[in-house]
């Protein structure tokens, strides 16, 4: 009888409602950054200046002037890197970016997360970047 009572007292499974989405949009509106972040997971290839072989990683979020990425290798603040961001619609977007902050991984084997400011972007790649941002904003 006790096991039957436990089954009856369990809460129903969570299903997102309209209220949850409204709350999410309200919280998102409090983000007062000059360039809002767009959470997007895209594969990237990162080339360090002293190494010919690139490192694979992924984006965490992107904005008009920067991006946060996860890489297997620790980077230093101030490093300038060449990134290739891969998008299925826009193709490869080539970016030169400067590392502005670094978070150390919590556990061994985790990826290193860092924030980068876009330092150099060709006009062609800038257009592709803005199209990518427009798609994520829609």
What pLDDT, on a 0 to 100 scale, did the predictor assign at position 21? 60
Distance of alpha carbon 36 from alpha carbon 52, whole angstroms? 33
Residue 64 lies in a domain: yes
Which has the higher per-residue pLDDT, 63 or 36? Answer: 63
Query: What string of DSSP letters covers 87-124?
Result: ETTTEEEEEEEEEEEEE--SSTTPPEEEEEEEEE--HH
Instruction: Give the pLDDT mean for 74-88.
Output: 90
% residues pLDDT > 70 (the chain): 70
Write phi, then psi, for 24 (nearest 5 degrees): -60, -45
Q: CATH number for the domain including 60?
A: 2.40.10.220
Instruction: Give the pLDDT mean for 103-113.
Output: 77
For the record, the structure tokens of 104 come out as 């150390």
pLDDT band at 5 (very low <50, low <70, confident <90, very high): very low
pLDDT at residue 14 is higher than 80 = no
What pLDDT, on a 0 to 100 scale, did the predictor assign at position 31? 57
pLDDT band at 39 (very low <50, low <70, confident <90, very high): confident
pLDDT at residue 40 is higher than 90 = no
Residue 21 lies in a domain: no
First to last CA, the chain: 53
Q: What domain range is 105 assigned to? A: 39-137
Residue 2 lies in a domain: no
Distance of alpha carbon 74 from alpha carbon 124, whole angstroms? 30
Residue 82 lies in a domain: yes
Query: What string of DSSP letters covers the chain?
Result: -HHHHHHHHSPPPP---HHHHHHHHHHHHT---SS--EE---EEEEE-TT-SS-EEEEEEEE-SSEEEEEESS---TT-EEEEEEEETTTEEEEEEEEEEEEE--SSTTPPEEEEEEEEE--HHHHHHHHHHHHHHH-
Instruction: Give the pLDDT mean for 24-45.
Output: 73
pLDDT at residue 134 is higher than 50 = yes
Which has the higher per-residue pLDDT, 37 or 72? Answer: 72
Residue 5 lies in a domain: no
């Amino acid at each position: 009888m006790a096991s039957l009572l436990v089954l009856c007292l369990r809460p129903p499974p969570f299903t997102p409602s309209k209220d949850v989405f409204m709350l999410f949009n309200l919280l998102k509106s409090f983000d007062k950054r000059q360039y809002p972040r767009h959470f997007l997971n895209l594969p990237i290839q990162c080339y360090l200046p002293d190494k010919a072989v690139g490192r694979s990683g992924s984006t965490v979020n992107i904005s008009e002037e920067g991006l946060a990425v996860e890489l297997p290798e620790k980077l230093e603040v101030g490093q300038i890197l060449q990134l290739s961001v891969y998008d299925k619609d826009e193709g490869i977007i080539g970016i030169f970016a400067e590392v502005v902050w670094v978070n150390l991984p919590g556990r061994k084997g985790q990826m290193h997360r860092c924030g980068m400011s876009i330092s150099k972007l060709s006009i062609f790649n800038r257009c592709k970047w803005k199209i990518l941002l427009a798609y994520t904003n829609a």
